[in-house]
Structure 1
Amino acid sequence: MTSKEQKKLEKLQKLRHSMAHVMAGAVLKLMPEAKFAIGPAIENGFYYDFDLPRKLTNEDLATIESGMQDIIKDKVSFEKEILTRAEALEMFKDQPYKVELISELPEDEEISIFKMGDHFTDLCRGPHVEDTSRLNAQGFKLLSIAGAYWRGDEKRPMLQRIYATAFGDAKALKAHLEFLEEMEKRDHRRVGKELDLFSLQEEAGPGLVYWHPKGARMRVTIEDFWRKEHYKNGYEMVFTPHVGKSWLWETSGHLDFYKEGMYPNMVMDNVDYYAKPMNCPFHIMIYNNGKHSYKELPFRWAELGTVYRYERSGTLHGLLRVRGFTQDDAHLFCTPDQMQDEVSEVLRFSLSMLRAFGFKDIQAYLSTRPEKAVGEQSRWDAAQESLKKSIEAEGLEYQVDEGGGAFYGPKIDLKVKDAIGRSWQLSTIQFDFNEPERFNMTFVDKDGQEKRPYMIHRALLGSLERFYGVLIENYGGAFPVWLSPLQVKVIPVSDKFDDYAKEIEKNLRAADILVDSDLSDDRMNAKIRNAQNQKIPYMLVLGEKEMNEKTVSIRVRTGEQMNGLPLDEAIKLIQDKIKNREMP
């Protein structure tokens, strides 16, 4: 980010932080009994959490917006004051959330408040605009109401959160609201329901995904392509159990530092077992099943391994945050001499795969050694240098997060931009200096001595569930032909042509095209509309002329038409789109 962009962002955050106070003042006017939690500026706006005597409604949002406009027009100043701890506790004695925050402040930290006239006073570090005339009464919008646990703790009170956004002018606000509308249209939960791709069923277990036939068909397409490309790139497949004895997780360290993120133990034969939150210890067990020479390495082992992690119910979000998911995991075990080539190759492969799914705008993030870390400094230095060289060799834009790596190794994260400019973190290439030590992994080197291999974790798509959600939102459900769960809908204009439709369908299936026929009693226009609503790439419309001439008329999802095509030409057109992974 340039200094100019940074200043623009800081100015916008100051505006939004000020707007959060204005919103709190309007809420206080509506409900004088309100208890206030926190109200920060966030990436695309701001929010404030409230403990209120009743549930907010959409009508309340309109009233609050009107109250905010009144405060802005009053040109109210933001005035900072410094208080002693005793003064602050006295001032907020009727505000339990503020009292808790004050009590946790370090003894030597300055306690400041900001007064917004008689409208609202908040415990706050600032900064704020000089007065409310600097805010645009037509440049903000209250967006939604949500529940939020105090401090994110399910055992604490549930508060009401108002999400909002604000800009310096009405034009920028309008553009952002249009962007939000487009996001809503593409929301994978909405599109998934409309296209009948998947479901999440709370009564059967939150955060667990049910893949419906059409979604499952897409998943099979993704998995088949994934496996084929991995074999082409020198990987071998492995399969590992879903559960393991507690010994495994004690050795890996997960029971020490990740237990809260794991499913509870199961007891069998008086021994604790755990559902796996990671695949890596199982791959290490395969490695340690025998002795290895440097001549055998590198090993590249991949698995579509389903793992289970306990995510708090409040953090679950469609396919993007779930409790059971399938990681497209791979682990590379190599010698120091092989490390650079392996890192370069896995990065190239990752980019190739992401581009195959239509993601062209990709940025890399390099995270380096933190202050507390395991592993020899020399190995860290070599690993970090290999990651950096690989990124630069690919010509990728990248940012360095100094000290931002995990304690067990440096990493590269790859983020892609979708069709409407949002960034999604997908691939990770992560060194691990922890588990090879814990599991005493070795190989016999050229000098006959046992040495530690380098271990590299690699999740290319991240998880199938999250990646599928990203795909849905990127394409809005209008997928490239090769990914579409149904590629062709055959539409006879009346039942007189049903037999011809069945014949066409049979030929398309024989050509490995995903197809079915609409033989319902609906009128032709309704059949076409239904197929378009399902975002099917091609509709083959059949009538008297097509049957007599043994041709088909193609209506493309985009609205284009091609009439009177011989069937073999139509099949080749569709097969070429599938082969080249193109849009219709």
Structure 2
Amino acid sequence: MRPGPSPCSDRSPPGSYPNQETPMNDHRRLGRDLDLFASDPLSGAGLPLWLPAGAAARHAVEEYLRELERRAGYQHVHTPPLGRRDLFDRSGHLGYFADDMFPPMRLGADEFVLRPALCPHHALVYRARGRSYRELPLRVAELGGMYRAERSGVLGGLSRVRAISLNDAHNFCVPEQVGAEVAEILGLIRAAHAALGVRAAGFRLSLRGPGEKYVGDEEQWRRAEDLLRGALAGIDHTEAPGEAAFYGPKIDIQVRDVAGREFTLSTVQLDFDKPERFDLSYVDAGGARRRPVMVHRSLVGSMERLFAYLVEEHAGAFPAWYAPVQVVVLPLDDRQAGPAADFARDCVHAGLRAEVDGAGSLGARIRDAARRRIPYVAVVGPREAAEGRVSLRQRDGRRLDPLPGSAALDLVTAAARPPLG
């Protein structure tokens, strides 16, 4: 039996729908229809290409997550997506997780490995210098790349890929801080889910099972499992023996895809093992050297899995703040092209994603905006152009009375602002 996946892993359902037609809201169908992402044999299976529309939505979500984390005291880092084989020997991944990893690459006397997780590099960030208890908790975050050697038969769309961009963080704290730290992480997960429109299907406490695939001693596991049970007090959840990572138990927040299949989106894990393996320490108030606890967490999992879910959950009609195009400006004819371009330029300068569409009949352009799930359509006809106004149509079909350009801009900007409070 293979070890349980890494705590910040990207396990998700296979991409195929055997013996049934692909649902209309399947993210692969919508991804093609809305030009969000594509695949190409020259790139390779499980290596999707994010097209401009998909990349715009993804960038908006990434910026939101970084700001949410920054406000919560996280410090962001950049670490390389590969490292020497020795790093992953030290972390335990090669010993317990090798089936999920690409084979090592030899360069001179060294062997390098594409990382299957970010935690080994974040352990190196922690030990880059000495640490005091006064610095803890230290929250290190990164939206970084990692790689999994998935079999071609389970790959599909964005839900199961080989190159993964993970919203990841590792919080280093003293043992007495663990309960508060996990509670705060769960609060951040709830905030991110609410902002993105994620509906959790349930909470799962993933525990150690029988066998020898788990590292660490009995007391470490008991402490970690008890701490996570305490964090879930009052929260309806299930327990799943055998679903823990090889080095610690975890809280998994589950969601369901359009076919009703459940998978993990967000996760929190306690780890007493990595601090031992990497000889991590801090100096306590009495001057003694102590081991920190390492808390792995991902608020929304990988960008690939997240968007596979979001595309299906919203049927491509993302909330305005991360819609690929937030407003499209439609001149009635060529005579309003100048004022339409001016309003679009004002939108762009205000931080909105806006464009002008002047080709074809107005009706056809409005229908195309609806097909693309654009939240706002701004129509500029002769009267609007003469009065410096625009007529806004919302995605749900509602029409607003013509507004001065500045008022229309304020309205769209407020609606398209990320919900950070």
TM value normalised by structure 2: 0.90
C-alpha distance 404-258 of structure 1, shift in aligned 2 (>3 A): closer
C-alpha distance 389-245 of structure 1, shift in aligned 2 (>3 A): same
What pairs with 1:310-329 in structure 2 (closer than 5 Å)? 310-329=149-168
Give the helix-richer structure, 1 or 2: 1
C-alpha distance 207-580 of structure 1, shift in aligned 2 (>3 A): closer
Indicate conservation of the 8 Å contact 2:79/2:121, yes or no: yes
Indicate conservation of the 8 Å contact 2:205/2:239, yes or no: yes
Q: Give the Cα separation in 1 of the matches to 2:277 and 2:325.
A: 48
2:99 aligned with 1:243: no
Once the 2 structures are TM-superposed, how far is the Cα of residue 389 of structure 1 from its aligned partner?
2.3
Once the 2 structures are TM-superposed, how far is the Cα of residue 269 of structure 1 from its aligned partner?
2.0
Which of 372, 393, 403 is 1:565 aligned to?
403
2:382 aligned with 1:526: no
Match of 2:267, SS?
Answer: strand
C-alpha distance 323-402 of structure 1, shift in aligned 2 (>3 A): closer
Equivalent in the alignment of 2:56: 217
Once the 2 structures are TM-superposed, how far is the Cα of residue 576 of structure 1 from its aligned partner?
2.2
Equivalent in the alignment of 1:345: 184
Give CA deviations for 1:408-461 in whole Å, capped at 9, x if unaligned: 211100123578976442111011233222222222333433232111111221
Equivalent in the alignment of 1:264: 103
Indicate conservation of the 8 Å contact 2:61/2:322, yes or no: yes
Q: Which has the higher contact order (CA 8 A, sep 6+)?
A: 2
Q: Give the Cα separation in 2 of the matches to 1:542 and 1:284.
A: 56
Equivalent in the alignment of 2:72: 233
Which of 471, 478, 491 is 2:310 aligned to?
471
Equivalent in the alignment of 2:42: 203
Output the amino acid matched with 2:380. Answer: L
What pairs with 1:272-351 in structure 2 (closer than 5 Å)? 272-351=111-190
Larger Rg, first or second structure (1 or 2): 1
CA RMSD of aligned residues (A): 2.2
Once the 2 structures are TM-superposed, how far is the Cα of residue 231 of structure 1 from its aligned partner?
0.6
Once the 2 structures are TM-superposed, how far is the Cα of residue 312 of structure 1 from its aligned partner?
0.6
Once the 2 structures are TM-superposed, how far is the Cα of residue 488 of structure 1 from its aligned partner?
0.8
Indicate conservation of the 8 Å contact 1:370/1:406, yes or no: no
C-alpha distance 377-456 of structure 1, shift in aligned 2 (>3 A): same
Match of 1:207, SS?
Answer: coil
Which of 394, 414, 421 is 1:576 aligned to?
414
Output the amino acid matched with 1:572. Answer: D
Unaligned runs of 5+ in 2: 1-15
Q: Give the Cα separation in 2 of the matches to 1:190 and 1:223.
A: 24
Match of 1:579, SS?
Answer: coil
C-alpha distance 355-362 of structure 1, shift in aligned 2 (>3 A): farther
Q: Give the Cα separation in 2 of the matches to 1:495 and 1:546.
A: 14
Q: Give the Cα separation in 2 of the matches to 1:481 and 1:188.
A: 19
Q: Give the Cα separation in 1 of the matches to 2:168 and 2:311.
A: 22
Once the 2 structures are TM-superposed, how far is the Cα of residue 407 of structure 1 from its aligned partner?
3.7
C-alpha distance 333-357 of structure 1, shift in aligned 2 (>3 A): same
Once the 2 structures are TM-superposed, how far is the Cα of residue 245 of structure 1 from its aligned partner?
0.9
Match of 1:292, SS?
Answer: coil
Match of 1:203, SS?
Answer: coil
Match of 2:197, SS?
Answer: coil
What pairs with 1:87-236 in structure 2 (closer than 5 Å)? 163=19, 184-236=23-75
Give CA deviations for 1:166-220 in whole Å, capped at 9, x if unaligned: xxxxxxxxxxxxxx7xx72211111111111111212222111211111111111
Output the amino acid matched with 1:452. Answer: R
Indicate conservation of the 8 Å contact 1:480/1:581, yes or no: no
Q: Give the Cα separation in 1 of the matches to 2:217 and 2:189.
A: 28
Indicate conservation of the 8 Å contact 2:329/2:340, yes or no: yes
Output the amino acid matched with 1:386. Answer: L
Once the 2 structures are TM-superposed, how far is the Cα of residue 537 of structure 1 from its aligned partner?
1.0
Once the 2 structures are TM-superposed, how far is the Cα of residue 360 of structure 1 from its aligned partner?
4.4
Once the 2 structures are TM-superposed, how far is the Cα of residue 470 of structure 1 from its aligned partner?
0.9
2:225 aligned with 1:387: no
Equivalent in the alignment of 2:376: 538
Give CA deviations for 1:535-583 in whole Å, capped at 9, x if unaligned: 111111121221222211122221111232222222222122123659x
Q: Give the Cα separation in 2 of the matches to 1:265 and 1:573.
A: 53
Match of 1:526, SS?
Answer: helix
Which of 189, 201, 215 is 1:374 aligned to?
215
Question: Identity over the aligned pairs, expressed in percent?
Answer: 38
C-alpha distance 562-269 of structure 1, shift in aligned 2 (>3 A): same
Q: Give the Cα separation in 2 of the matches to 1:317 and 1:252.
A: 29
Once the 2 structures are TM-superposed, how far is the Cα of residue 316 of structure 1 from its aligned partner?
0.4
Equivalent in the alignment of 1:554: 392
Which of 332, 336, 345 is 1:493 aligned to?
332
Match of 1:441, SS?
Answer: coil
C-alpha distance 536-420 of structure 1, shift in aligned 2 (>3 A): farther
2:289 aligned with 1:450: yes
Indicate conservation of the 8 Å contact 2:102/2:149, yes or no: yes
